[in-house]
């Protein structure tokens, strides 16, 4: 293993640990001696990594550090390319373009050998049935999810009957033939999922919903299998 690969692996291990982890544990996970580990930590700190801690206490990496040059294993490159191709083919317009742009940015900063590996990737997404077009801008739904704001929807059921909803959106689910917005529905007093192509109008309310998104996801996971049709309206 080269030194650059070893430093990259150390950064990845540190990112997996949210709390201080001992040098011996880190050295064991990387497969190096404790002395080499201490040298590698000093090298990362010299490159700008905010690694807090000391021998005998433990180490933790604060967010925001990228190890130049950007490095990935061949399997990670395959995963990135495959995932980006799926999003480019099945996501809405802005999200599909973001996937293509992200892949191009990654390719631009990869070392030459890894960039060649990415360009020659042979994993492809088989085209599926066309997804029904959305009336509303899906970017608005994603923004409401990110900022934890309520959404006011006009939603049409399978028969085309409209209803007014206020929901607390926390996730989007992407299937081959449909996209679902998942949230807590104030009208139903329960978790519900809404086909995005049946949303006739959507407006983000000025109010944030009262429960944090991670907690809503946790609660939804506990009950989703007990909901008829997984709560789809």
Contact status, residue 21 vs residue 52, Cβ threshold 8 Å: no
Confidence bin at 57 (pLDDT 50/70/90): confident
Q: What is the DSSP letter of 111?
A: -
As given in the structure block, the two tokens for residue 98 are 């973001």
How confident is the prediction for the chain on average, in pLDDT? 86
Residues forming a β-bridge with 21: 59
Q: How much of the chain exceeds pLDDT 90, in percent? A: 34
Q: Return the pLDDT at 112.
A: 73
What would the 3-class secondary structure string for 46-100 be? HCCCCEEEECCCEEEECCCCCCCCCCCCHHHHHHHHHHHHHHHHHCCHHHHHHHH
- Condensed to tens digits (0 to 9), the pLDDT of residues 36-54 reads 989 998 988 887 788 888 7
Check residues 94 and 168 and name the one with the higher pLDDT.
168
Q: Return the pLDDT at 210.
A: 94
Taking CA atoms, 48 is separated from 26, 35, 192, in Å, by 19, 21, 45
Q: What is the DSSP letter of 110?
A: S
Confirm whether pTM is higher than 0.85: no
Q: Return the pLDDT at 181.
A: 95
Which helix (H) or strand (E) is 131 found in, with range? none
Q: Return the pLDDT at 64.
A: 72
CATH architecture of the domain 3-61 equals: Orthogonal Bundle (1.10)
Q: How far apart are CA 46 and CA 50, in angstroms?
A: 9
Inform me whether the pLDDT recorded for 99 exceeds 60: yes
Q: How much of the chain exceeds pLDDT 70, in percent? A: 94
Place of tokens 């990112």: 15
Q: Return the pLDDT at 127.
A: 72
- Condensed to tens digits (0 to 9), the pLDDT of residues 153-212 reads 999 998 999 999 999 999 999 887 888 999 999 999 999 999 999 999 999 999 899 999
- Condensed to tens digits (0 to 9), the pLDDT of residues 1-27 reads 667 778 878 888 888 887 888 989 999
Q: Return the pLDDT at 175.
A: 84
Inform me whether the pLDDT recorded for 69 exceeds 60: no
Q: Return the pLDDT at 91.
A: 79
CATH number among 2.40.128, 1.10.150, 2.30.30, 1.10.3470, domain 138-231 = 2.30.30
């Amino acid at each position: 293993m080269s030194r650059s690969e070893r430093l990259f692996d150390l950064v990845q291990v540190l990112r997996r640990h949210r709390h201080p982890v001992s040098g011996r544990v880190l050295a064991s996970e990387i497969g190096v001696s404790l002395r080499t580990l201490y040298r590698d930590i000093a090298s990362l700190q010299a490159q700008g990594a905010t690694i807090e801690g000391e021998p005998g206490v433990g180490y933790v990496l604060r967010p925001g550090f990228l190890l130049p040059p950007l490095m990935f294993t061949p399997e990670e490159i395959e995963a990135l390319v495959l995932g980006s191709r799926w999003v480019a083919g099945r996501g809405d317009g802005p999200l599909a373009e973001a996937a293509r742009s992200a892949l191009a940015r990654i390719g631009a900063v990869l070392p030459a050998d890894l960039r060649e590996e990415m360009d020659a990737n042979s994993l492809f997404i088989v085209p599926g049935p066309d997804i029904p077009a959305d009336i509303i801008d899906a970017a608005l739904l994603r923004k409401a999810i990110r900022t934890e704001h309520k959404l006011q929807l006009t939603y049409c059921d399978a028969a085309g009957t409209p209803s007014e909803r206020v929901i607390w959106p926390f996730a989007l689910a992407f299937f081959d033939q449909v996209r679902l917005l998942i949230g807590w529905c104030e009208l139903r007093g329960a978790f519900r999922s809404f086909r995005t192509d049946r949303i006739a109008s959507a407006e983000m309310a000025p109010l944030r919903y009262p429960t944090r998104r991670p907690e809503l996801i946790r609660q939804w996971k506990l009950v989703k299998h007990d909901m008829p049709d997984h709560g789809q309206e």
